[in-house]
Amino acid sequence: MDSLDLNLLRALDALLNEGSVTGAARRLGLSSSAMSRTLARLRSAIGDPLLVRAGRGLVPTPRAVALRDRVHELAHEVRGVLSPQTDRLDTITLERTFVIRANEGFIGLFSAPLVAAVAETAPRVRLRFAPKPIKHAEPLRAGLVDLEIGVLGEFAPEVRTHLLFRDRFLGVVRDGHPLLETTITPERYVAYKHVVVSRKGAFTGPVDDALRELGLRRQIVAVVPGFPDALRIARQSNLIALVPRSCFDIGLMSGDPLIQGLVSFKLPVPTPEIAILAMWHPRMDADPAHRWLRETVISVCLTAFPRHRERQGAAS
């Protein structure tokens, strides 16, 4: 392979298509004598005369005729590999499967509009949503995941991010819950029992940190893996659930039965905003198809959260 000269492939393509040393030389910007020497090298390498004299011209041998189409395709592929990547992307003909790793909250809220947006512009593209049991960069590094959605966490420093939207937790109770009878204070908030969501089974979070500063502590009696589970429990009991605003508001706007019979309220203690990010490995930065996927996800999220459009400058 050390002696392989890809210029020979280009020259062979020109010779077989032109059927003339002079024509091939003109096509490649070479002299006729240089092209004649190249033809001699090709004859030696392939073990066939390729072009033989017939009167005043040259005609291809059977071997040359058999090679012509294949050589042309190979030369085209080599030029594509060794040429700068173009940003032009034909989504109509794009055939690719993208893996998006996200928690069930994002999948529940955005999978349907995202699939619809992709199907409209790229009918041959497939999406595979993968579960997100832990926050870890290895699936992105290994190429097992194309796009990660969620909170940054302890990610590798090389991972690229783009802010999709900002979220905040809300309290949720059943309609008619006694907590709603008057002003919701921290003291009244902790007077009732709670259900929380944690994939790791944790019983405390930022809300508890804020309450602790006031000398208060809420009584958590149930930990569930997903927000839909917490909402179902809150609707059928006096337990207070804690869910992201996006989970409740979009469900409310879409008429999701899961939200029926529930009322949300602003927490009586301050909690930090949640930055929901799209994350990908830097090797995918210049890939036009991946860039299109990122832009599609961003567009879907901005449609759901138009207020975030004014704050887009906060994206990293």
- With a cut of 80, say whether residue 239 has pLDDT above it: yes
- With a cut of 80, say whether residue 80 has pLDDT above it: no
How long a stretch of residues is the chain?
A: 316
Q: Directed axis angle between helix 104-121 and helix 288-304, to 10°?
A: 120
- Per-residue pLDDT, averaged over 189-196, amounts to 96
Q: Directed axis angle between helix 32-46 and helix 21-28, to 10°?
A: 110
Instruction: Tell me the backbone φ, ψ of residue 280, rounded to 5 degrees.
Output: -150, 165
- With a cut of 70, say whether residue 108 has pLDDT above it: yes
- With a cut of 50, say whether residue 309 has pLDDT above it: no
pLDDT digit string (tens) for 130-158? 887 666 777 888 788 999 998 876 666 78
- Per-residue pLDDT, averaged over 37-65, amounts to 92
- With a cut of 50, say whether residue 310 has pLDDT above it: no
- Which of 207, 302, 198 has its CA nearest to residue 246? 302
pLDDT digit string (tens) for 201-222? 788 888 999 999 999 999 999 9
Which pLDDT does position 85 carry in this prediction? Answer: 60
- What is the model's pTM? 0.64
- With a cut of 70, say whether residue 316 has pLDDT above it: no
Half-sphere exposure of 34 (CA within 13 A, CB side): 12
Kindly report the number of other CB atoms within 10 A of residue 183's CB atom: 6
Which pLDDT does position 159 carry in this prediction? Answer: 87
Which pLDDT does position 154 carry in this prediction? Answer: 63
The answer to whether residues 244 and 215 touch, using CB atoms and an 8 Å cutoff, is: no
- With a cut of 90, say whether residue 228 has pLDDT above it: no
- With a cut of 90, say whether residue 290 has pLDDT above it: yes
Which pLDDT does position 39 carry in this prediction? Answer: 94
- Per-residue pLDDT, averaged over 188-200, amounts to 92
* Position 313 confidence tier, pLDDT thresholds 50, 70, 90: very low
Q: In what order do the strands lie in the sheet with 169-174?
A: 219-224, 193-197, 240-244, 169-174, 262-265
- With a cut of 70, say whether residue 86 has pLDDT above it: no
- With a cut of 80, say whether residue 43 has pLDDT above it: yes
Which pLDDT does position 155 carry in this prediction? Answer: 60
